[in-house]
Chain A
Amino acid sequence: TQLLEQSPQFLSIQEGENLTVYCNSSSVFSSLQWYRQEPGEGPVLLVTVVTGGEVKKLKRLTFQFGDARKDSSLHITAAQPGDTGLYLCAGAPGYSSASKIIFGSGTRLSIRP
């Protein structure tokens, strides 16, 4: 069974600080995605990475896919209260629509003003 472990589970930091969230697995994924979920809403896709070593930036968020395509990280620079939420990584073993996407255990992030 493929599993995605996220760390830390919970993170509370002051506005303006930097942080990194990790997503690790012993399995190889064809692609990896990061989602953010706010209370009472569904997850919203932030990014998809498909190539080992790939780095993508979305304003203050930097996403990296590990060289072996088994892990990923999300780095936030100068965190703001609006970044608060549940961050989920999700890996797809294959590219087809029948490929079961595996979600990570989640990181609950709280940014204090």
Chain B
Amino acid sequence: DTAVSQTPKYLVTQMGNDKSIKCEQNLGHDTMYWYKQDSKKFLKIMFSYNNKELIINETVPNRFSPKSPDKAHLNLHINSLELGDSAVYFCASSTPIGDTGPYEQYFGPGTRLTVT
């Protein structure tokens, strides 16, 4: 029973292409995230949605556009891919401890994007 799943696991594409990564969680969580992990393993938040509403939008190029069709799904579309977009992208979902938090995050297996 996969809790947070992402597709594809690997994505190799050329500069200038447009690609999408899909994420689904079956944990019943209200909040979902996209993170980017660079080659030095530094993990940085990109976006967060709560019940389909965007609540965190970090300084990310507008070539990146998240979409949440329902609270169990959060997709990431990237336009005009650049070499610097190569990284591992993680989807996560979270639930609060108790009624108000803090929030505990559950990560997907990641999508390794390579732009050539």
Smallest beta-carbon distance A87→chain B, Å: 11
Choose, from B14-22, B37-45, B62-70, B75-83, the stretch at the interface: B37-45
Q: Which residues of B contact A41 (CB under 8 A)?
A: 109-110
Closest to B30 in A: A97
- Structural contact, A48 and B102, CB atoms closer than 8 A: yes
> Any chain A CB within 8 A of the CB of B86?
no
Number of interface residues of B (CB under 8 A): 30
Could you list some 15 contacts between A and B, CB below 8 A?
Answer: A33-B102, A42-B108, A42-B110, A45-B104, A88-B43, A95-B102, A96-B100, A97-B31, A97-B96, A97-B103, A98-B48, A99-B103, A100-B45, A101-B45, A106-B41
Is B1's CB within 8 Å of the partner chain A?
no
Contact assessment for B104 and A86 in the assembled complex, using a CB-CB cutoff below 8 Å: no
Distance of A40 Cα from B41 Cα, bound (Å): 12
Tell me whether chain A's interface is mostly helix, strand or loop, or mixed: loop
- Shortest CB-to-CB span from A111 to chain B, Å, is 18
How many Å lie between the Cα of A63 and that of B80 in the bound state? 43
- Shortest Cβ distance from A88 into chain B, in angstroms? 7
Min distance, Cβ A40 to any Cβ of chain B, angstroms: 7
Instruction: A90-B105, A97-B101, A103-B42 given; name 10 further pairs at CB < 8 Å.
Output: A31-B101, A43-B107, A50-B102, A88-B43, A98-B55, A100-B58, A101-B45, A101-B105, A103-B43, A106-B41
What 0/1 readout, one digit per residue, does chain A (85-113) give for beta carbons within 8 Å of chain B?
01010101011111111010110100000
B48: chain A residues within 8 A (beta carbon): 97-98, 100
Using known A-B contacts A97-B55, A97-B94, determine if residue A45 contacts B100 with beta carbons closer than 8 Å. Answer: no
Would you call B74 an interface residue if the criterion is a C-beta within 8 Å of the partner chain's C-beta atoms? no
A105 surroundings in chain B (CB, below 8 A): 40, 42
Chain B CB within 8 A of A30 CB: yes
Report A31-71 CB contacts with B as 1/0, cut-off 8 Å. Answer: 10100010011111100101000000000000000000000
A98 with B101, Cβ < 8 A, contacts A42-B4, A86-B41, A88-B43 known: no
